[in-house]
Amino acid sequence: AKRDERGGYSFYAADQNERLAAHRRLLDEMRRGIRNGEFFVEFQPRFETSSRRIRGVEALVRWAHPERGRVSPAEFIPQAERSGLIIPLGEAVLRDACRTIAGFDAISVSVNVSPVQFRDPRLVEIIASALDEAGLPAHRLELEITEGILIEDAERARQTLGRLKEMGLRLAMDDFGTGYSSMSYLCDFPFDVIKIDRKFVSGLHDPGRGRAVVQAIIGLGQSLGIGVTAEGVETNDQLAMLMQLQCREVQGFLLARPMSPEALRLLESDAKAP
């Protein structure tokens, strides 16, 4: 009924109401989905560029919605963050990822940690318990963090990152270069890895600026003694250029898509076959 009122203000209000209702519906469905086990984790391999061996995997959450099919994390993660649901969901992903990867030989697992989870005072405890329960050594868990953690309380973020480093975890700076303060963030916090955002990798075909930017980020990592992983590698040309620039690790659809633990098992045994 409201939708038929075309007066400017009420139309806008109806639009707002609809968005709010959609938001609530999505949250209800997410809560139900968590209870019903509709969420699961896929793993996308990261390869050492020089040897083409799998060095680790990134854990990526998936939602198999009973009516809508697969819902993209780009759609539900922001809503989960706004509502706080990311805290239980993120914990479930972390525990699943640790348990799954403990069943593999040497590879490490990278888990995305939302800034909202980062503000949860129980985060360090939850991580310690996930490692312990899975029997996974801390050095095989890498946390992928975006500069969103800086926004509220940089001092607390620094303390938390310090404690995680002491435990032996590795810290990766996700989506490097897409935010406003990537550089100061890199100076102020003890990162072990920089992940170059897909946006820059897709700019590699530009022999001028595009390539220069990627080259500079890789050089920055080398000067700081920090590993660099390029994400979103989709073409052989991109891979060839990243090899030439001596980017340490590569990840992308060209090499492997996110996959189930069973598929990862097959890929790993293929890689080992003589």
- Positions touching Ca ion (CB under 5 A) are 112, 144, 174-175
Region from 28-36, 231-239, 240-248, 263-271 binding ligand C2E, contact rule CB under 6 A: 231-239
In this structure, the chain runs to a length of 274
Which one of ligand C2E, Ca ion, none interacts with residue 91, CB within 5 to 8 A by kind? Answer: none
Cα 51 to Cα 54: distance, rounded to the nearest angstrom: 9
Residue 234, interface with ligand C2E (CB under 6 A)? yes
How big is the site for ligand C2E, counted in residues (CB under 6 A)?
24
User: Binds 221, which of ligand C2E, Ca ion, none (CB < 5 to 8 A, cut-off by type)?
Assistant: none
Task: Specify whether the CB–CB gap between 26 and 79 falls below 8 A.
Answer: yes
Residue 3 or 52 having the CB closest to ligand C2E: 52
Q: Among 43, 252, 261, 264, which residue sits at the site for ligand C2E (rule: CB under 6 A)?
A: 252
Q: Is 56 in the site for ligand C2E (CB under 6 A)?
A: no
> Taking a C-beta distance cutoff of 8 angstroms, is the pair 47, 53 a contact?
yes
C-alpha triplet 218, 220, 223: angle, nearest 5°: 110
Q: Give 163-231 as a DSSP string.
A: HHHHHT-EEEEEEETSSS-HHHHHHHS--SEEEE-HHHHTTTT-TTHHHHHHHHHHHHHHHHT-EEEE-
Binding site for ligand C2E (CB under 6 A): 44, 59-61, 72-74, 77, 86, 90, 93, 112, 114, 144, 174-175, 198, 231-234, 252-253, 258
